Amino acid sequence: MIIRRYETKDLAQILLLFHDTVHNINKADYDEEQLYAWADGRPDPDRWDRSFYEHYSIIAEENGRIIGFGDIDHKGFIDRLFVHMDHQRKGVASAICEELEKNVISDKITVQASVTARPFFEKRGYKVLKQIKAVRKGIALTAFIMEK
């Protein structure tokens, strides 16, 4: 596995990975309506590409295939961290998170973690500041503001 900086050519694979991960991994913690609100299969590619370039954005790649990605903004907020459904629990998320954490200027790192991701971040030393209802397309999803 190699970790490298995001490039626009990665976007199509990332968008598919995001959709598939939400609908296959997060379905244990969210219902169909919530999953569709979160990842409806019609993302705005220009908005995603722009935000990846505004943040420190990396991908994990294996044999030319993207198996995970993540990004963090200049204030230390982890915006996205997703791993392909076939590569869960293999150290991919940890490798991505480690790289994001060491490349942040801020002394605090925050994340809005899903119910599914909360245990991962807790194992990395993040503490829950509060539980929230994140609203996507008018649908509430339980999430946690966490900090390290």
- Encoding tokens for residue 8? 């626009």
**Band of residue 58 on the pLDDT scale cut at 50, 70, 90:** very high
User: In this model, does residue 78 exceed pLDDT 90?
Assistant: yes
Q: What DSSP state is assigned to residue 148?
A: -
Going by C-alpha positions, the residue among 25, 24, 2, 100 that lies closest to residue 56 is: 100
| Number of neighbours of residue 41 by Cβ within 10 angstroms | 12
**Band of residue 106 on the pLDDT scale cut at 50, 70, 90:** confident
What pLDDT, in 10s, does the model give residues 15-51? 999 999 999 999 999 999 999 999 988 889 999 999 9
End-to-end CA distance of the chain: give it in Å, rounded: 26
User: In this model, does residue 104 exceed pLDDT 90?
Assistant: no
Q: Which CATH number fits domain 2-105: 3.40.50.300, 3.90.1150.10, 3.40.630.30, 3.40.50.970?
A: 3.40.630.30
Please, what is the average pLDDT of the chain? Answer: 96
Q: For position 133, what pLDDT does the model report?
A: 96
Spatial distance between the Cα atoms of 94 and 15, rounded to a whole number of angstroms: 20
- Encoding tokens for residue 6? 């995001």
Report the predicted TM-score, pTM, of the whole model to 2 decimal places: 0.93
What is the pLDDT averaged over residues 46-70?
97
User: In this model, does residue 105 exceed pLDDT 90?
Assistant: no
- Encoding tokens for residue 30? 């969210």
